[in-house]
Structure 1
Amino acid sequence: MRVRKKPWAAGYIKDHADLIVTDPKAQIGNWQDRFPSKQPLQIEIGIGKGQFIVEMARQHPELNFIGIEIQESVIAVALRKVVESELTNVQLVETDGADVAELFAEGEISQLYLNFSDPWPKTRHEKRRLTSPGFLKSYITILKDNGLIQFKTDNRLLFEYSLTSFNNFGLTFDEVWLDLHQSTKNDENVETEYEEKFSKKGPIYELVAHLAV
């Protein structure tokens, strides 16, 4: 999806270097230094405009959150939400989430969120799907023992693919929701901007899984 360039984005990011990292590899193993308190660290890959991660940080002051987004104009909007929230337990990273295994040390992350990732429907693009085996291997590397992967989508085919991918990788399913918004979990569900807009058009699917050790 083409995103309209925001002329103010680069300057805004530069002015808030305390809340956003543009050289994440320099932080490997030391991400907790970006926060006032050392707390379990959770990440969201592909944060969009930041609604999910900001609300999660607001609801869970006992956790630290890192949001990853590659598009400058998009992450700048998310950054503005973080600044306005005055939360101290959320940091943003402007980079490609595909490199996640190169950004964190082994076992540095307690939970990972994948919300409404690009489905990459063509077979030749399978390796680009964020729930494909190559990505799962990266996630397991940076997750603590029994660390969770939480995945949400409105794309039925991607959901079915992800079920198979998670299962074949050897992950243990903690939760499988075929219609999250009609489930008992919906009361605690935090919506993304995309989810809020498109959930009326069909069900939202969710998987939560971990690699048992």
Structure 2
Amino acid sequence: MRLRHKPWAKDKIQQYPQYVISNPEQLKGKWGSVYEKDQPVHIEIGMGKGRFVTEMARSNPDINYLGVELQESVIVSALDRLIEAELPNVKLLNADAANLPLYFSKGEVSRVYLNFSDPWPKTRHEKRRLTYSSFLKLYEDILPNQGEIHFKTDNQGLFEYSLMSFSAYGLLLKYVSLDLHQSNFEGNIMTEYEEKFSERGNRIYRCEVQYQ
């Protein structure tokens, strides 16, 4: 899907520093000061238009959420949603996930969510997949011992690849669903992509893995 360029996006992001973090390098070890309350931080990498991270924040006021999105033209949609929601426990970060260890100390993030990440199906692009081993090392650097990754996708190939990648890295598979919407899992919050794909009849895959 081609991303529609929004030339005004950067200016709008800069107008709302209370919602979009502009100085993440200076916050390493100090993320408790960013939010109204100092409480566990969960991050969603590649948050798209922000539905998941916003609704998670609304449902879990005792957790702080951070939506990480590289594309300015995408993050402004999440910004609009956040401005309307006025939630004190969610912020946005316009940044590359590859730089996360520059922004967070070990254990400063309590959980990582990966929802409907780009599958990068070609073998030569394997290292770009957010479940590739180098990314798993990045997450390990910011999560606590026994920290968790929660992963959802409609792409069977990416899911199978990710399960193998998690296992090869030594992560513990705590939960695996091959058809989330037909399972007994409670409290699922759908992303925009998830709703669209499920309406087409696509199966949704989900897993939870833990560092050991």
Q: Establish whether TM, by shorter chain, passes 0.5.
A: yes
Q: Do structure 1's residue 29 and structure 2's residue 29 form an aligned pair?
A: yes
Q: Residue in 1 aligned with 2:192?
A: 193
1:39-75 CA-to-partner distances (Å, cap 9, x unmatched) read 0110000010000000000000000001100111110
1:7 positional shift: 4.0
Which structure 2 residues correspond to residues 67-78 of structure 1 after superposition, within 5 A?
Answer: 67-78=67-78
Q: Percent identity?
A: 51
Q: Residue in 2 aligned with 1:210?
A: 210
Q: Residue in 2 aligned with 1:150?
A: 150
1:78 positional shift: 0.2
1:152 positional shift: 0.5
One-letter code aligned to 1:193: E
Task: Mark the runs of 5 or more structure 1 residues left unpaired by the alignment.
Answer: none
1:21 positional shift: 1.4
Distance 1:12 1:32 in 2: 25
CA contact (8 A) 1:68 1:97 kept: yes
Distance 2:97 2:29 in 1: 17
Distance 2:101 2:120 in 1: 21
Distance 2:8 2:133 in 1: 38
CA contact (8 A) 1:22 1:95 kept: no
Distance 2:209 2:100 in 1: 18
Q: Which moved more, 1:66-75 or 1:1-10?
A: 1-10
RMSD between aligned residues:
1.1
Q: Do structure 1's residue 116 and structure 2's residue 111 form an aligned pair?
A: no
Q: Residue in 2 aligned with 1:106?
A: 106
Distance 2:177 2:119 in 1: 18
Any runs of at least 4 consecutive aligned residues in structure 1 with deviations exceeding 6 A, and if so which? none
Q: Residue in 2 aligned with 1:170?
A: 170
Q: Residue in 2 aligned with 1:15?
A: 15
Q: Residue in 1 aligned with 2:91?
A: 91
CA contact (8 A) 1:12 1:76 kept: yes
Q: Which moved more, 1:88-97 or 1:21-30?
A: 21-30
One-letter code aligned to 2:189: V
Task: Mark the runs of 5 or more structure 2 residues left unpaired by the alignment.
Answer: none
Aligned residue pairs, count: 211
Q: Residue in 1 aligned with 2:81?
A: 81
- TM-score normalised by the chain length of structure 1: 0.96
Distance 1:9 1:38 in 2: 30
